[in-house]
Amino acid sequence: MAREPAVLRIFVILVALAAGAILLLPPPASAQEEVASAIRRYKEKEASTGYYEEYEVRPRRQRPFVEIPGVQVGLFPYSPSAAEVRVRTRLADSHMGIAFYTDKTCVACHPQEAKDIHTVRANLTCRQCHGGEPIASIQYFNSPMNPIRKHAYVCAKCHEGSSASFASYIIHEPAPGSMAALKSFPLLYIVYWFMTVLLVGTLAFFIPHSFLTGVRELFTRKKEAKNDADTTH
Amino acid sequence: MTPTPRIKRFSVIERLFHLSLMITFLLQTATGFSRLYITTAWGKKINAVFGGYDNSLLIHKWVGVVMMVGFVIHTVYLFTRINWRTPVKSVFGEDSLVPNIADLKHFGQRILWFFGLGSRPRFSRWTYWEKFDYWAVYWGLPLLAITGVMLMYPMVTSRFLPGWSLNIAALLHRAEAILAVTYIFIVHFFIGHLRPSSFPMNEAMFSGSVPLEEANEEKPAWVESLQNSGRLKMVSAAAPVLWYRVVYFVFGYAVLLFGVYLLINGIMYARQVGLH
């Protein structure tokens, strides 16, 4: 008698949990396009197709236990709805809450970012591309730097006809031989070290080779000159 | 006084290829360096010679186009040099610039000869380092051309490749250019001018001929095969006239000094470029 309601109660709890679990699943997407590559997608008809990748649309409702790569708080992965960690790459004002922000120059905190061709050669200032305050995070949906509009909002200011593919040029490229490059731009790293090894290898071979040729010929000449005086032929 | 017998080494068209390569290569180095070193005092100076940052790029592009055309013409010329009745023998024979097993053997012999442990390798028409010289340019030019065209038309490039391929192209273009410049201005100039058997200048590429005696000493297998096939008489050449020698000595040294000037300043100012 007494066991039946208990079994029923456990059953109800399990059903409720299962129903709750369904809520944890990501909502079905309205359109799931198979994208061969960014180039192909962006080639000509980027906007006219109406298809967008996930990072291009407004953030959907936050899901607990869905981690953001590299961010973990406590025992559980970072959960935007449960924690108060600021992920700087996703803020409307990326410099929000930084002490004495207004007294700082950009390069005070971003020295590596001032070593690119745009800054060094074309003498661009940071704000010419990144805009005035507040400077939005790179992954903030409404940022002008969002890949869906960067080519039009930023690059095309100077580069007429800039496409989204063109805008995937890495402005602040890492030092090509650094471990940072290996992580974020492996091909650049590989090309750099391939060319460096080729350069050093070629010179390391041919400079001693030429020098030894010179030294050896110096001795040969002297010997032959002596021989010529002795023998006539 | 009987003139010393000479044999032909380079035809007029081959010398013209070399001459045009010299001029275009030097222009590309100067205009390219003037942009690479624009952040330095020296870079600004040579940049001013070419009329500023944009103008030097314009010159760089047009000279690049001339080089690409030259490369195509040269490749066509290469095909005309193949004896199409015996193509395999012609391409892989000893008159050819294509590397072969004998080059490896010669290299080993030459290392021994450096230290007096063996006799001079019997080189044929082209020594292995001359072949390296040739093929280094032959693969370097298309690499610079392809990456150069990519950078020349970034919008078109990014239609066919992702935009970040321009990062790679810029790096490759610069790295290959530095490789070519250091190799030519150090190794090639040393071989052509400084080593005792060439000093003060190896004239073969300008006069087109070499004294038979010198060829016999440097490339005995070549002279021998000419003798055996009875072609030695056919390739005999006249000595270059004096005024011509004066002209190419002055020209050669001007190029040498300018190249070394660019190289030394390039090394000195390398740290101030300001890029990664």
Provide, as residue numbers in chain A, all residues whose Cβ is less than 8 Å from the Cβ of B162: 37-39, 165, 168
Nearest to B166 by CA among A7, A170, A199: A170
A200–B contact, CB cutoff 8 A: no
All structural domains of chain B, each given as residue ranges with its CATH number in brackets, are 6-272 (1.20.950.20)
* Strand segments (E) across chain B: 6-8, 209-211, 236-237
> B179–A199: do the CB atoms touch at under 8 Å?
yes
What are the b/e assignments for A136-151, b being 16+ CB within 10 Å?
A: bbbbbeebebbbbbbb
A45–B contact, CB cutoff 8 A: no
Preceding peptide of A134 cis, ω within 30°: yes
Question: Which value does ipTM take for this structure?
Answer: 0.93
* Strand segments (E) across chain A: 72-73, 76-77
Residue B40: alpha-carbon gap to chain centroid:
29
Tens digits of per-residue pLDDT, A158-198?
888 888 888 889 999 999 999 999 999 999 999 999 999 99
Q: Which residues contact B47 (CB under 8 A, 6 or more apart)?
A: B34, B35, B38, B53, B56
Gap between the Cα atoms of B67 and B152, Å rounded: 15
B109–A contact, CB cutoff 8 A: no
> B197–A221: do the CB atoms touch at under 8 Å?
yes
Q: How many CB atoms lie within 10 A of CB A76?
A: 12
A86 contacts A97 by C-beta, under 8 angstroms: yes
> A203–B154: do the CB atoms touch at under 8 Å?
no
3 state SS of B120: coil
Provide, as residue numbers in chain B, all residues whose Cβ is less than 8 Å from the Cβ of A166: 154-155, 158, 163
* pLDDT tens for chain A, residues 1 to 233: 556 778 888 888 888 888 888 777 665 544 334 444 444 444 444 445 555 555 555 555 555 555 555 666 566 555 554 444 456 777 788 888 788 888 888 899 888 888 889 998 888 888 899 888 888 887 777 888 888 788 888 888 888 888 888 888 999 999 999 999 999 999 999 999 999 999 999 999 999 999 999 999 888 865 554 444 444 44
* Residue range B24-48: mean pLDDT, rounded: 94
Provide, as residue numbers in chain B, all residues whose Cβ is less than 8 Å from the Cβ of A111: none
Distances (CA, A) of A84 to A5, A73, A147, A183, B170: 42, 10, 27, 28, 42
Judged against a pLDDT cut of 70, whether residue B266 lies above it is answered with: yes
Q: Which of residues 120-159 of B touch A (CB under 8 A)?
A: 129, 132, 136, 154-155, 158-159
> B171–A176: do the CB atoms touch at under 8 Å?
yes
**Which amino acid type is present at position B210?**
V
Tens digits of per-residue pLDDT, A82-101?
444 456 777 788 888 788 88
Average pLDDT of chain B to the nearest whole number: 92
A185–B contact, CB cutoff 8 A: yes
> B171–A174: do the CB atoms touch at under 8 Å?
no
End-to-end CA distance of chain B: 63
Q: Which two tokens stand for residue B254?
A: 């001007």
Q: Which two tokens stand for residue A2?
A: 């007494």
